Amino acid sequence: YRAFSAAPATAAVEASSTLNPGRLRNVAVIAHVDHGKTTLMDRLLRQCGADIPHERAMDSISLERERGITIASKVTSVSWNENELNMVDTPGHADFGGEVERVVGMVEGAVLVVDAGEGPLAQTKFVLAKALKYGLRPLLLLNKVDRPSVSEERCNEVESLVFDLFANLGATEEQLDFPVLYASAKEGWASTTFTKDPPAEAKNMSQLLDAIVTHVPPPKANIDAPFQMLVSMMERDFYLGRILTGRIHSGIVRIGDKVHGLSNKDSGVVKIDDGKVVKLMKKKGTSMVPIDCAGAGDIISMAGLASPIIGNTVATAEIMSALPTIVLDPPTISMT
Ligand code: GDP
């Protein structure tokens, strides 16, 4: 029985844990509304967060109060053994602002949460189509197996429905070879074998966390190259100003680094901003935790530049090339 590992207790440990891309896993969490995404994330964080030393938890909470950090990041990090898992919440609805693309463009894997009673529905399909197109490695989590109506037979049915859906959406052989987990997010557990009532020592999320580490490849990212990050989300904080969240494409970023914002225009790459990194953060458990530095492949939030927007690149001052903004074909999948 493995307990949930605590978030490292100091900022230095925190930062060094993310400087090895091989130790990172980035996953999107995808679900049709009401299939249990919020409950799943909640249970994961509550169990992991419970191990964060009390003073440390208070630290980040008081830091938030003190600085008035109000951002609600959609990216949550969980430390698991030697690894760090970044879990990104994916909107389930049809959005035309490209939010789904931005999320799937940041990650290598996807946890597809499907209500075992209901089976895959329209929003599952909509987001899944994009996830598969981006080459993400999926895991299927059949949720709500605690319900009396959900049998092993029903789970097998839903598994084959999902398999057919994958095949229809053009999944590769590798993507079709997805692992299946049976879960009750409500009761806080996930299992790789069918059960409705796991033994007490297995009533946790360990098997899900292990499956993510095993089946999702680490990001391919060059930590030795100059720092570049694609901005995928943007928020505003009263004290810190613009908070940019994105995936570090290459290199390492540290507090105090000189960086600039770059934009791809028809005329070429345009410098839109100049400044210094004043704060780096990751959401751990339920609070934003400050970090000293972060490396390629990681998904982080930063403050310091006032102008970049979603789709822009933040790069170290010697870099004048912007990363390609993610653009995918308009959805052709029917929502009915
Ligand atoms: P979301 O819309 O995907 O975020 O779904 P929620 O997490 O809000 O869950 C929707 C409803 O399903 C809530 O009433 C939950 O309590 C319930 N629910 C979620 N997970 C489970 C589960 O594993 N078992 C049961 N029985 N109910 C669940």
Q: Cβ(144) to ligand 1 under 6 A?
A: yes
Render pLDDT for 34-88 as a digit per residue (tens, 0 to 9): 999 989 988 887 767 544 444 444 445 555 555 544 445 688 898 888 899 999 9
Confidence of residue 123 (pLDDT cuts 50, 70, 90): confident
Confidence band (pLDDT; 50, 70, 90) for 220?
Answer: very high
CA 205 / ligand 1 centre spacing (Å): 16
Burial of 243 (0-12, 13-18, 19+ CB in 10 A): buried
258-274 pLDDT, tens digit each: 999 999 888 889 999 99
Between the CA of 3 and the centroid of ligand 1 the distance, in Å, is 24
**pTM (predicted TM-score):** 0.87
pLDDT reading at 329 higher than 90: no
**SS3 readout for 28-91:** EEEECCCCCHHHHHHHHHHHHHCCCCHHHHHHHHHHHHHHCCCCCCCEEEEEECCEEEEEEECC
Cα 262 to middle of ligand 1, angstroms: 41
Q: What is the pLDDT of residues 173-192, one digit of tens each?
A: 999 999 999 999 999 999 99
Does 112 sit in the ligand 1 pocket, CB within 6 Å? no
Strand 299-303 and strand 279-284: the pairing is antiparallel
pLDDT for position 151 = 97
ipTM beyond cut 0.85: yes
Sequence length of the chain is 336
Return the best residue to mutate from 34, 123, 203, 208 for the ligand 1 pocket (most ligand atoms within 8 A of CB). Answer: 34
Whether ligand 1 lies within 6 angstroms of the CB of 143 is answered as yes
pLDDT band at 133 (very low <50, low <70, confident <90, very high): very high
Whether 196 lines ligand 1, by a CB cut-off of 6 Å, is no
| Contact (Cβ atoms closer than 8 angstroms) between residue 231 and residue 264 | no
